[in-house]
Structure 1
Amino acid sequence: MNIWIKGISPFYEPGLEELVKKNLKAKRLIFTLDYKPAIPESDVVFIAVGTPTTKMGDADLSTVLDVAEKIGKNLEGYTVVATKSTVPAGANKKVQRILEETKHQGAEVDYASVPEFLREGSAISDTINPDRIVIGTESKRAQEVLVKLHKSINAPLVLTNFETAELIKYAANSFLALKISYANAIAKLSELIHADALKVLEGIGMDKRIGNLFLSPGPGYGGSCFPKDVRALISIAKDNDYAFSLLEEVEIINQQARRDIVRKARGILGDVR
């Protein structure tokens, strides 16, 4: 936290450090670990914490729920609390219940799900110029507050309920993972029949209905979002008695792509150590 207070970003994100320093200087940005002064001063509070995958494949909500309890205990007046974290269907109602149970008498709170769609390396651009803004809430008042908050951003609005907002995030990331696995499956088939995989995928991507983003062969998808979101969506489906075999195959193809990269590297390098 002391690093942030000095205007230094502990990780690299293009343009972030300059933006932090500029807004710290203008007193538009404050960093603190103390909920007590921060929450009562806020009209809107966003929960943006990690939701790692558990051993069972679902999302670990412990940090989200812990933060919600601390926010609830410090609410005063009317506040909109919104989740940015990726959480499964039904999780937002758990958070809403915690806020209602922990808030002081006289405090009013409405709850919403406003999922983020940021990419590492272009987070600032994705925030300022998003493809869409998704707002899921049961409260008309909260919806109006959040629409007003985002009015300076020129992007389509998707106004819906909790469950739909939650699923949009998982479905979007899983579809992109699917495109990556599809590209690797086509590359594998191309190799077997002596076709040029890059040309095949280039030709596919020229179709405007498909596009060429996330349609390149390689070692498969990774990072902090796609693997956990694919597994979480499979887990959500299982919890609702639906076998999401398509996404299960996406995971299998992704593992095969990784093994293929290692196999090819060994074939090229031989006994080199």
Structure 2
Amino acid sequence: MEICIVGTGYVGLVTGACLAEIGHRVVCVDDDLEKIATLKQGRMPIFEPGLDNLVTRNRREGRLSFTTDLKEGIEAATVIFICVGTPPLEDGDADLSAVEQVARQIGELSSAYKLVVEKSTVPVQTGMWIEKTLKVYGGGKDDRFDVASNPEFLREGSAVEDFLHPDRIVVGVGHPRAERLLRDLYEPIVSGDFTCPTHGVCREAGPIPFVVTDIKSAELIKHASNSFLAMKISFINSVADLCELVGADVERVAEGMGLDRRIGRAFLNAGLGFGGFCFPKDLQAFVKIAEKCGYDFGLLREVDRINELRIVQAIKKLKDHLWILKEKVIGVWGLAFKPDTDDVRYSPALALIHRLLAEGVAVKAYDPKAMERVRQQLPSLLYCQDPYEVASGADALVVATEWKEFGDLDLPRVRTLMRRPLMLDGRNLFDPLKMKAMGFEYLGMGR
């Protein structure tokens, strides 16, 4: 099938590379000249495990290409995925100007039938506006376009795996023709009838659920899913605060809760709170969507409030033990919002660092992948070559991102390097008893 992907951010680039991997011919379009030049040179604009191999192989084999010319991209395509950004506005609503612009251009440039699929995370009823825009700018003909919603459920750090081995594929359609095209497009993934770069042929995994709904329901599924996961994180963080007050261990509580199949252990990890570009943005947008429709989603407002307070709690823990933060040296392990990505958007680590700098702290930092991105925002930080350099001379250490390499460090060496062996484990990466046995003043979250 001939596919056009408009937008080469996390979603667009992963979608394009993975669709090429299962046999489709894909053209990825972006108006960012530098990004397209980077991709054409065989370099990656983002870090995502396994993605560089997929892009390189499928470019070499002629199934994946990149251009800045939207007309070139859509001319041969039957299916066009809109994967442009929908950043938050000041009031929390989603900025859909890029979606509208792409829909308008598709309408103006298309001379034959196209299935236009919204892959970007958008508010409910966006599909209706895309349909109207295509009709107005496409000459008023109803039969030239179908619109569908196909929300993405990709986790940064495992996006390739999530695309090729999803929990489910959701499509919202208004016409049987659109459903047929999307079933054909995803058939290799649904059936497992393709050679996965990680697992080989995957037929034994069984069929993937292919959920067909109306467009509005599909749009809501994405926001509802992310908001629910954010709610689980804020819930366990509230439980963590209670655990500290009564002397319980949130890790044991989460383990006991998670064994209930109705609850599950995933996303019950207490810590500095959630970040990244999806959860905070989607949560606020969902609240705004409900507000526009006349419903006050107070539950999600509280989820957001609890998350905002996590950094306040962390600063309080440090003050309770260091007394005065001004002119102290504090090391931070991790800058990305989660491990296995270089994405620092809405990162709790950066929120914490901004607070520390405001207190007059000298901050040393290290991250395996994200330092160059942060250096552009915070040039005043002392960026270190490794975690040991961060620890050297520090009055305290904060584990802000749970990179695997931090768990494998020589901790006795870390302790001897520090001026004071105080560790705030913002991700509960270490065992409290073992840390105390090694001589650390150990502060966990809810432990």
TM-score (norm 1): 0.96
Find the counterpart in structure 1 of residue 439 from structure 2.
Answer: none
Correspondent of 2:168 among 123, 128, 132: 132
Higher mean C-alpha deviation, range 184-193 or range 250-259: 250-259
Correspondent of 1:162 among 215, 220, 223: 215
Find the counterpart in structure 1 of residue 315 from structure 2.
Answer: 262
Counterparts of 2:185 and 2:74 in 1: how far apart (Å)?
17
Which residue identity does 2:219 align to in structure 1?
E
Which residue identity does 1:235 align to in structure 2?
K
Find the counterpart in structure 2 of residue 81 from structure 1.
Answer: 116
Q: Secondary structure at the match of 2:65?
A: coil
Counterparts of 2:315 and 2:165 in 1: how far apart (Å)?
38
Whether the 8 Å contact between 1:76 and 1:104 is mirrored in structure 2 is: no
Task: Say whether 1:2 aligns with 2:2.
Answer: no
Higher mean C-alpha deviation, range 56-65 or range 170-179: 56-65
Which residue identity does 2:124 align to in structure 1?
A
Task: Say whether 1:182 aligns with 2:217.
Answer: no
Find the counterpart in structure 1 of residue 261 from structure 2.
Answer: 208
**Over alpha carbons, which structure has the higher Rg?**
2
Q: Secondary structure at the match of 1:212?
A: coil
TM-score (norm 2): 0.60
Which residue identity does 1:153 align to in structure 2?
I
Find the counterpart in structure 1 of residue 272 from structure 2.
Answer: 219
Task: Say whether 1:246 aligns with 2:293.
Answer: no
What is the CA deviation profile of residues 151-209 of structure 1, one whole-angstrom value per residue up to 9, with x for unaligned ones? 01132011011110000000000000000000001001111111112111111111121
Higher mean C-alpha deviation, range 83-92 or range 170-179: 83-92
Counterparts of 2:42 and 2:105 in 1: how far apart (Å)?
26
Between Structure 1 and Structure 2, the one with more helix by share is 1
Find the counterpart in structure 2 of residue 108 from structure 1.
Answer: 144
Structure 1: state its 5+ residue gaps: none
Deviation of 1:220 after TM superposition, in Å, equals 0.8
Which residue identity does 1:59 align to in structure 2?
A
Find the counterpart in structure 2 of residue 233 from structure 1.
Answer: 286
Counterparts of 2:305 and 2:162 in 1: how far apart (Å)?
30
Higher mean C-alpha deviation, range 103-112 or range 69-78: 103-112
Which residue identity does 2:99 align to in structure 1?
V
Find the counterpart in structure 2 of residue 95 from structure 1.
Answer: 130
Q: Secondary structure at the match of 1:242?
A: coil
Q: Root-mean-square deviation (CA), in Å? A: 1.4
Between Structure 1 and Structure 2, the one with more strand by share is 2
Which residue identity does 2:265 align to in structure 1?
N
What is the CA deviation profile of residues 100-139 of structure 1, one whole-angstrom value per residue up to 9, with x for unaligned ones? 1112587711111111111111110011011111111111
Counterparts of 2:59 and 2:322 in 1: how far apart (Å)?
51
Higher relative contact order (CA 8 A, sep 6+): 1
Deviation of 1:78 after TM superposition, in Å, equals 1.4
Task: Say whether 1:26 aligns with 2:80.
Answer: no
Q: Secondary structure at the match of 1:134?
A: strand
Find the counterpart in structure 2 of residue 121 from structure 1.
Answer: 157
Q: Secondary structure at the match of 2:114?
A: strand
| Percent sequence identity over aligned pairs | 45
Q: Secondary structure at the match of 2:84?
A: coil
Counterparts of 2:49 and 2:89 in 1: how far apart (Å)?
31
Counterparts of 1:142 and 1:7 in 2: how far apart (Å)?
34
Which residue identity does 1:133 align to in structure 2?
I
Which residue identity does 2:174 align to in structure 1?
E
Counterparts of 1:30 and 1:268 in 2: how far apart (Å)?
55
Higher mean C-alpha deviation, range 58-67 or range 200-209: 200-209
Deviation of 1:269 after TM superposition, in Å, equals 3.8
Find the counterpart in structure 2 of residue 70 from structure 1.
Answer: 105
Counterparts of 1:262 and 1:150 in 2: how far apart (Å)?
47
Find the counterpart in structure 2 of residue 50 from structure 1.
Answer: 85
Deviation of 1:268 after TM superposition, in Å, equals 3.5
Say if 1:69 and 1:198 are closer, same or farther in 2 by CA, change over 3 A. Answer: same
Q: Secondary structure at the match of 1:30?
A: strand
Q: Secondary structure at the match of 2:289?
A: helix
What is the CA deviation profile of residues 212-269 of structure 1, one whole-angstrom value per residue up to 9, with x for unaligned ones? 1110110111110000111111111111111111111111111122211121133344
